[in-house]
Amino acid sequence: MRCPSFLDALDARRIVGHHLLLTQDAGRAHWRALPECPYGTPMSDLLPLTMAERLIRQAMTPFPVEAVPLEAAYGRVLRQAVHAERALPPYDRVILDGIAVAWRDGQTGWVLSGTQAAGHPPLTLDPGHEAALAVMTGSVLPRGADTVIPREDYRREGDTLILQKGVSPKRGQHIHPMGADCAAGAALLESGLILSPPEMAVLAANGISQPLVSAIPSIAVISTGDELVAPDAPVAPWQIRRSNDYAIAASLARRGLTRQTLLTLPDDLAILTLKLDEALDTHDAVVLSGGVSMGDFDFVPKVLAALGVQRILHKVAQRPGKPFWFGIGKSGQPVFALPGNPVSALACCSRHVVPALLHAQGVTLPPCHVMLAAPLTPIATMTRFVPVRLGHDDQGRTLAYPCPMTTSGDFNRLGATDGLVTLPPGDTPLSAGTGLVFHAW
């Protein structure tokens, strides 16, 4: 008997092509209420990629916010808006070393009466036009002054300063007026940014010493399979060195998701049940690889179901990575179960796991578009992921050079690639120059 279609279970009015249109009140609870397949077998329909992405996003609970010392905030996801603490610059700022004067057209000499250093309250220029105060880059403009003359534009004779020949200062020059950069309260940073060097400077300059950022989730990265051995263990001819967990861990770490526990489990129902239960209890997210296909020892979906992980989807119309499984644990943790084949596992990680975890951290990144450097043929019924190496053409545009793998187990040549491009399902070959969305590994 055929398992009822996943799509049949939904209100048809919410389905347009391969997309789900969510009604106003359709939230996470709605998705969770979808009927489980009553026959206990995975749903046979392959979910279109766009729908899978939407279901995952809908099911993810945002990770909490925490305040961290500014020194520890680099690379974290900002979860607050930042406004200018005060007008910037906060005073009329001298922008180079020289003298400050009250400018009068035609004047060529001044008498030095003191020094205005950076970080000191403003001095007052003697009245009239004869006096000058030495000023330093970053100091306040002394009261009564309106013009700064750079050091190289005058010479000193005793206490007298004489303008060099050919120099003609303009009133107001070399002063960065108060508020020229922004007014007090101006919006400077938005929530959802990944903090990079310039944003660190903005936080510091505006007195944010404990920025609010997304908490880094603790993630269990679990390999499953009786054939797997560690990189440093003896390997029998019938065994495989495990590599997925290292690739997945690296893919997460480069996005700042560094709180990881790596674990390898055998294809044993009892051990899987015990250890996955522990992992679910102690982690905010779980990323598995292997054991989600149709083999006799592919126990992962069954064990997750027994542990109360609500299946959101299983099997996506994508190649590689068709057996991908995703669900939500009892306390809301996302559980990603990736196929074991290394290319599939890494493709699912960068195409599903990373975007979902970034989304739950509140990250708002625009899609990265690249141009195909060589033709590629899509798959009529499925989304195709193709590993690519990035380069640039002579106009500086980013090109994606396809490096298709012969099989999803053929991962040794992935080393020359930067990520993958997504080819939507279709019949028409894509020519060089086609724009596609790129996801880094």
- Rounded to 5°, the CA angle 27-30-36 comes to 145
- Rounded to 5°, the CA angle 27-325-438 comes to 85
Cβ proximity to Mg ion: between 225 and 256 the closer is 225
Cβ proximity to ligand AMP: between 34 and 235 the closer is 235
Contacts (CB under 5 A) with Mg ion, residues 14-53: none
- Report the distance separating Cα 332 and Cα 54, nearest Å: 17
Cβ proximity to ligand AMP: between 297 and 401 the closer is 297
C-alpha dist (Å) from residue 53 to 86, 318, 386: 42, 12, 18
Task: Specify the stretch interacting with Mg ion by CB under 5 A; choose among 139-147, 306-314, 332-340, 391-399.
Answer: 332-340
- Report the distance separating Cα 421 and Cα 65, nearest Å: 32
Cβ contact 357:285 at 8 Å: yes
Q: Kind of pairing, strands 160-163 and 19-20?
A: unpaired
Cβ proximity to Mg ion: between 286 and 423 the closer is 286
Cβ proximity to ligand AMP: between 152 and 226 the closer is 226
The yes or no reply on residue 301 touching Mg ion (CB under 5 A) is: no
- Report the distance separating Cα 387 and Cα 408, nearest Å: 11
Q: Which does 245 bind (CB under 5 to 8 A by kind): ligand AMP, Mg ion, none?
A: ligand AMP
Cβ contact 206:84 at 8 Å: yes
Contacts with Mg ion by CB under 5 A: the residue count is 4
Contacts (CB under 6 A) with ligand AMP, residues 148-187: none
Cβ proximity to ligand AMP: between 344 and 361 the closer is 344
Contacts with ligand AMP by CB under 6 A: the residue count is 19
Secondary structure element (H or E) that encloses residue 282, with its range: helix 269-282
The yes or no reply on residue 295 touching ligand AMP (CB under 6 A) is: yes
Q: Which of 214, 251, 293, 310 lies at the binding interface for ligand AMP (CB under 6 A)?
A: 293
Q: Which does 227 bind (CB under 5 to 8 A by kind): ligand AMP, Mg ion, none?
A: ligand AMP
Residues contacting residue 265 through CB under 8 Å, at least 6 positions apart:
222, 223, 224, 271, 272, 275, 276
> What's the min distance (Å) between Cβ of 223 and ligand AMP?
4
Contacts (CB under 6 A) with ligand AMP, residues 190-229: 223, 225, 227-228
Cβ proximity to ligand AMP: between 132 and 265 the closer is 265
Nearest to 132 by CA among 177, 167, 162: 162
Q: Which residues pair with 240 in a beta bridge?
A: 228
Structure-block tokens of residue 136: 């330093």
> What's the min distance (Å) between Cβ of 228 and ligand AMP?
5
> What's the min distance (Å) between Cβ of 76 and ligand AMP?
29
> What's the min distance (Å) between Cβ of 226 and ligand AMP?
9
- Report the distance separating Cα 245 and Cα 341, nearest Å: 12
Q: How many CB atoms lie within 10 A of CB 62?
A: 12
Contacts (CB under 6 A) with ligand AMP, residues 309-368: 339-342
Nearest to 336 by CA among 418, 242, 221: 221
Contacts (CB under 6 A) with ligand AMP, residues 229-288: 240, 242-245
Q: What count of residues does the chain have?
A: 441
Q: Name the residue with tokens 């004047």.
A: 107
The yes or no reply on residue 211 touching Mg ion (CB under 5 A) is: no
Cβ proximity to Mg ion: between 139 and 341 the closer is 341
- Report the distance separating Cα 399 and Cα 298, nearest Å: 39
Residues of this chain that bind ligand AMP (CB under 6 A):
223, 225, 227-228, 240, 242-245, 289-291, 293, 295, 339-342, 409
Residues of this chain that bind Mg ion (CB under 5 A):
225, 290-291, 340
